[in-house]
Amino acid sequence: MVSHIVVVLALTHAVLAKVSPNFNDCRGQFYASTPPVGFETLSSSLTPICQMYENYNNPFFASLYHKGNRHTMYSAYILDSRPGDVTGASQTFRLEPQLVDTRLPNEMLLQPATETAIRNLGLSSAPADLIKQTQAINSDYTDSNYHKGHLNPNADHPDGPGQKATYTLANVAPMFGSLNSGAWRNNEKRVRDIAATCGRMYVITGVVPGNNWITVNGVRRINIPSHVWSAFCCLNNNNQPIRAEGSLASNNVNSVQSGLTIANLQSQLKSLLGTTVTLFRNNCA
């Protein structure tokens, strides 16, 4: 009994990550409270997650996680252009217990704590095996030559919990290192500069699954996306849309198509994904 109490106390200040069907607990992260449409047709392994941090009551962002590919399909958030130092850079990426079983804590945890929570629930399989069945772990990226590419980047938030909450493996996908550190980072800065002219900016950043995988000991672990994309919806102080753009990059070169119309980006995503997607209600128009 005492060990259970210790575990609960240890979790009270952890990051929260709540599996939430249809994003019902974090629709405020989407323009007009409307999540993208069309992605749900791609796989039965997609899991909506509302990402929260410590004892804050409001979710920080939303992620659509692909259990089969073990990466996030997209993250959606409100860009906060207030300046701040980078406080999340030393953070260890955490795991999502509820991807294993929704009866597990909704706190996003480091792997040892996740394994402990699984043992406490009494699941019959080995905790490490159950985790690896549903999600990537930090060691999967070791020596992979790919970055843990943030879809919701820490720099889009001021220093503090908003940055630290982005350090979850449910907010990353394998990214070509030169792209992540080069043209894509520059494009993120360009969008932040635009956000400073908005009353509010909603952002959705995602990936297109590819044909290659990060393998560990000959086992396919994480799908390597073929493309990375992003879109923003900029509102004025009266919550009226005034600007919307998209960006798209092949995940093997240091180059980004930027300044795309939302319709153009959605047309290209249709060709790449094989299904029609709508990112923003009325294309943020």
Q: Is residue 107 part of a domain?
A: no
What average pLDDT does the structure give for the chain?
Answer: 90
Q: Is residue 137 part of a domain?
A: no
What domain range is 79 assigned to? Answer: 19-95+145-284
Q: Is residue 235 part of a domain?
A: yes
Q: Quick check: helix, strand or coil at residue 12?
A: coil
Name which of 28-42, 49-63, 107-121, 125-139 the model is least confident about.
49-63
Cα–Cα distance, 240 to 202 (Å, whole number): 12
Helix-strand-coil percent breakdown of the chain, rounded to 5?
A: 35, 30, 35
Residue 154 DSSP one-character state? G
Cα–Cα distance, 146 to 134 (Å, whole number): 20
Q: Is residue 178 part of a domain?
A: yes
Residue 93 DSSP one-character state? P
Name which of 14-18, 56-60, 182-186, 228-232 the model is least confident about.
14-18
pTM: 0.91
Cα–Cα distance, 243 to 172 (Å, whole number): 26
Per-residue pLDDT tens digits for 219-249:
999 999 999 999 999 999 999 999 999 999 9
| CA R_g for the chain | 18
Q: Name the domain count of the chain.
A: 1
CATH number for the domain that contains residue 58:
3.40.570.10
Question: CB-based contacts of 144: which residues, under 8 Å, 6+ apart?
Answer: 174, 214, 222
Higher pLDDT, 16 or 166: 166
Question: CB-based contacts of 95: which residues, under 8 Å, 6+ apart?
Answer: 108, 109, 110, 111, 114, 131, 135, 137, 168, 169
Q: Is residue 63 part of a domain?
A: yes
pLDDT recorded at residue 161: 85
CB 222 within 8 A of CB 174: yes
- Per-residue pLDDT band for 87 (boundaries 50, 70, 90) equals low
Q: Quick check: helix, strand or coil at residue 175?
A: strand
Q: Is residue 157 part of a domain?
A: yes
Q: Is residue 47 part of a domain?
A: yes
Q: Is residue 131 part of a domain?
A: no
